[in-house]
Structure formats: C-alpha cells, structure tokens
C-alpha cells in the first residue's frame, strides 16, 4: 500500500493521493479566468488505470458562476459528485464543466468545498515556484 494514500476499503488497489499545491494555479476557458488559487489540491487516482491528475480549487477562489445541474455520479473513493454549468464573465455557459463532492465520504473529507474542472475543456496553468 502507498503511504498517505486514501484507499477504497473494498478494493485496496483503487486509491488516491491528495496533496496541497505550493504553486498558484490558473483555470481559464476561452481567454476568461474561471478560477485562480494558491490553495489548490492535486488529486492523483489509481483505479482501472492511472488517471491524469485533477486539480481541486477552493470554492472561494472561483470567479465564474456555478449552477448545479441534475447530473450526479458516484466514486467509491470520494462519494457522490454534483456537476455544475459554468458561466463566464461574458455570460457564455459551459455545460457540466465542473464537479464537486459536496458531502464526500469521510476519508475523502479534505476535498469538501473544492471544485474540479474538466481538463479537456479548460486551460490549467501552474506557476513555477520561484528559485
């Protein structure tokens, strides 16, 4: 088992590692800022495969408007996910662009009040640490 990882109690080979990011992260869509944070979390999950890392942003660092949709999915590591349409400053709407685990499973509680964005549909930039 990986130390400090959160394992699925029913399938220990399914796990995730969540780390606080030291760098500032920017989330953009179509040239518009969606979010900017110095308090993001990087979540790396291993299940059927090694998934690309996801970046979770505190709700307080999101500048776009989120509107909850009817869509919901379940993850045995994180719990029930809610999905959100995102409205940018130009009033354009991106359907189901973001998701959040509003009431995550107890062992994944550190991602409560954080939101992730579909990395295929946004540009995520991570600032380099200053030397």
Q: What are phi and psi of 43, to 5 degrees?
A: -115, 120
Tally the residues of the chain.
Answer: 131
Please give the Cα distance from 87 to 38 (Å, whole number). 22
Q: Which domain holds residue 49?
A: 6-126
Contact assessment for residue 120 and residue 51, using Cβ atoms and an 8 Å cutoff = no
Residue 88: inside a domain:
yes
Closest alpha carbon to 42 in 53, 28, 27, 58:
53
Residue 80 has a pLDDT of: 97
Residue 114 placed within a domain: yes
Total-model pTM = 0.92
Q: Express each pLDDT in 75-92 by its tens digit.
A: 999 999 999 999 988 888
pLDDT of residue 107: 82
The answer to whether position 131 is within a domain reads: no
- Residue 84 is classified by DSSP as E
Q: What total number of domains does the chain contain?
A: 1
Q: What are the pLDDT tens digits along the chain (131 aa)?
A: 455 688 887 888 889 999 999 999 999 999 999 999 999 999 999 988 999 999 999 999 999 999 999 999 999 999 999 999 999 888 888 999 999 999 999 888 999 999 999 999 999 999 987 65
Q: State the pLDDT at residue 131.
A: 57
CATH assignment of the domain containing 67: 2.170.150.40
């Amino acid at each position: 088992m990986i130390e400090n990882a959160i394992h699925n109690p029913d399938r220990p080979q399914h796990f995730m590692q969540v780390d606080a990011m030291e760098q500032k992260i920017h989330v953009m869509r179509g040239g518009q800022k969606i979010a900017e944070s110095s308090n993001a979390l990087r979540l790396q999950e291993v299940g059927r495969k090694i998934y690309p890392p996801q970046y979770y942003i505190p709700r307080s660092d999101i500048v776009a408007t989120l509107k909850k949709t009817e869509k919901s999915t379940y993850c045995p590591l994180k719990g029930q996910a809610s999905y959100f349409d995102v409205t940018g400053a130009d009033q354009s709407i991106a359907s189901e662009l973001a998701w959040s685990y509003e009431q995550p499973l107890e062992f994944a509680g550190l991602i409560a009040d954080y939101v992730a964005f579909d990395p295929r549909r946004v540009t995520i930039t991570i600032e380099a640490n200053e030397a």
